[in-house]
Structure 1
Amino acid sequence: MIKKSLAMFAIASLALTASCKKENAALRIDDQTAKKAELAHAEAGKLPVISFENTEYDFGTVDQGEKVNHTYTFTNTGTADLIISDAKASCGCTVPSFTKDAVKPGEKGEVTVEFNTAGKKGSQSKTVTLTLNTEKGTEMLKFTADVKDNGIGVAKGK
């Protein structure tokens, strides 16, 4: 009986201590922290949104050894600046470049891909994955090409 009473007293003491700590933590929030939290909450609804004219492109039939380019155009249809922080191609034969500056709401930007067909033949399908500050965080661009084997297999002009 004494052990049971002692255990109940210990549990009650822990419960009271825990509830006091929660109140003390709430009291430690100063005005500056509260204002930062309020501002973050107000800005939380503002997000950039990337809207591409097209996310897929077909180069058609190209000669082996050619370097071909395509530019994907997009608009920031969101309510905050859009920033592309990275672009990764699915293979080393593709080199992406993109608008480096923040794209304001309503403004346009570009992602250009250069596909080197050297050493490639037949049907090709490649992707470029963008890392950006949108709610989704990534976007994927795709392109295809039918590389005609001309027996050279190296870039023209080399």
Structure 2
Amino acid sequence: MKKIIFMTLMLISGITFASAQATNGKKQAEIKFDNLSHNFGTFSEKSPVVTCVFTYTNVGEAPLIINQAIASCGCTVPAYTKAPIMPGQKGEIKVTYNGSGKFPGHFKKTITVRTNGATEMTRLYIEGDMTEAK
């Protein structure tokens, strides 16, 4: 009786392991950014709004969907494509920093990007130096 129970458990374990391996072989999307950071350099408080674009490619085998892109503060606003990006295609995340009402000086902000891809979360960075208006 113990042998039958043992063999049944081994069979169930083997089936579970095989099905887990099969789901890991599933086609997935994969995001690859051209750059993960952007430096605006020095800009004046007179023109406090600066913008950059992060370009990415879906290097996976399934459609890529960006679920959200969230900035570390309200002065930074990311805008991104809501439509799925097919394998091999490119997409963009446009990031705008608004230094109005902020103290001049160096800043560094992050944008957290969440996708349906194999890499579910990626962080992008922007930085720069806003000089005082004279």
For the pair shown, the structure with the greater C-alpha radius of gyration is: 1
Question: What are the superposed Cα offsets for residues 119-154 of structure 1, whole Å, 9 maximum, x if unpaired?
Answer: 231011011000101122101111111001127xxx
Given candidates 97, 100, 115, the residue that maps to 1:118 is: 100
- Is the counterpart of residue 72 in structure 1 residue 65 in structure 2? no
- Is the counterpart of residue 108 in structure 1 residue 98 in structure 2? no
Given candidates 48, 51, 56, the residue that maps to 2:29 is: 48
Dislocated runs of 4+, deviation >2 Å:
40-45
Deviation at 1:45, TM superposition (A): 3.1
Deviation at 1:55, TM superposition (A): 1.0
| Distance in 2, Cα, partners of 1:143 & 1:99 | 19
Q: Which residue of 2 aligns with 1:82?
A: 64
RMSD over equivalenced CA pairs, Å: 2.9
Provide the TM-score with structure 1 as the length reference. 0.68
Q: Which residue of 2 aligns with 1:63?
A: 44
Paired residue secondary structure (1:130): strand
Deviation at 1:41, TM superposition (A): 3.1
| Distance in 1, Cα, partners of 2:28 & 2:132 | 46
Deviation at 1:62, TM superposition (A): 1.2
Paired residues for 1:1-158 under 5 Å: 19=5, 41=22, 44-64=25-45, 66-120=48-102, 121-150=104-133
Amino acid at match of 2:42: T
Q: Structure 2, unaligned stretches of length 5 or more?
A: 13-18
Count matched residues. Answer: 125
Q: Structure 1, unaligned stretches of length 5 or more?
A: 1-11, 27-37, 152-158
Amino acid at match of 2:30: V
Richer in helix (by share):
1
| Distance in 2, Cα, partners of 1:147 & 1:42 | 49
Deviation at 1:58, TM superposition (A): 0.7
